[in-house]
Structure 1
Amino acid sequence: MKIRQLNPTDAEEYLSIRLEALKDSPYAFASSYEEEKNQSAEKYKNRFDSPVSSFTFGAFEDSQLVGVVTLVKQQLFKLRHRASIVAMYIKPEKRGNGIGKALVSNVIQKAQKLDGIEQIYLTVVTTNSPAKKLYSSCEFEIFGKEKRALKLDNTYYDEEHMVLFL
């Protein structure tokens, strides 16, 4: 397995795995497949071309993208010491093999190298035990719970807010 920051040539493959994630785990993302299915790879080409506030990493096995995660730096003056992990996804058949831990570790290392970043935030659906276990193993701590954070087909999902102080 190889982990690296994505670049514009990865845009098509990223779009594909992003749409797969939204279909496979609709409860895990604020966005939906319906909202993103008509996106073009151009959006990601542009984002990956000049990463300033957003850094997306991919895990590759046999040159196939099998997992992704994005680190987003806050831009507001009073929040510039913060970054967030978003859009984390591992293909179902590849879960439980350390890919998630490797991706999160790479994001943490990237955040430590960014000037001024002191803490990393993320949210996770409370029913996603494997993800919660992963984040806890990477030293993230729960600091709050948001009841009914997401609503999908008349079902509510609570989210836990987690932080890692660098």
Structure 2
Amino acid sequence: MDTRLLSKKHAAAYKSLRLKALQEHPEAFSSSYEEEVAYSIATVEERLNAENSFTFGAFVDEKLVAIATLLPETKNKLKHRANIFAVYVNTSYRKTGIGKKLVEAAINKSKSIEGIEQLYLTVSSSNIAAKNLYQSLSFKTYGTDKKALKVKETYYDEELMVLYL
């Protein structure tokens, strides 16, 4: 297994895995399958090549099995912060350490960007495995966003987490 920064050449594999994530766990992402299925490969390529966005992938035998995105803030007063989002590990590869390696890659990248002092993420309050992963990497919960997401008629709370670098 290796982790690497994704580029536009990974767009088709990324889109496929992202859509799988949105179908399997609609409560875990603010975007929906219905919104992203319509994205063209060109749109996905643009996202992966965006100047101030870093999407990491974990590969097993050259197959993309996990993804995570690091997005540093760009406004002057927020440049000391970055966000991790869109984390997903294919079900077949969970509990193998891949998720941890992927988030560590995002953390390490954030440490290489001048001025970043804090990393933020949100996680569904009911996603115990993901919360445990983030806590194992020293993220701390600083609040709860009640009814943060609404999927059909069900509300989901999100925990707001931070890691001070």
Q: Please, what TM-score do these two structures have when normalized by structure 1?
A: 0.97
Other structure's SS at 1:147 match: strand
Count of residue pairs brought into register by the alignment:
165
How far off is 1:52 after superposition?
A: 2.6
Other structure's SS at 1:38 match: coil
| 1:24-83 deviation digits (Å, cap 9, x = unpaired) | 11000011001111101212222333x431100000001100000000011111111100
Map 1:14-25 to 2 at 5 A: 14-25=14-25
Q: Which runs of 4+ in 1 moved over 6 A?
A: none
Output the CA distance in 1 between the equivalents of 2:48 and 2:15.
12
Output the CA distance in 2 between the equivalents of 1:109 and 1:95.
21
Q: Which runs of 5+ in 1 are unaligned?
A: none
Aligned partner letter, 1:13: A
Aligned partner letter, 1:102: K
Map 1:107-146 to 2 at 5 A: 107-146=106-145
Identity %: 48
Map 1:1-166 to 2 at 5 A: 1-49=1-49, 51-166=50-165
Q: Which runs of 5+ in 2 are unaligned?
A: none
Other structure's SS at 2:86 match: strand
Q: Please, what TM-score do these two structures have when normalized by structure 2?
A: 0.97
How far off is 1:86 after superposition?
A: 0.6
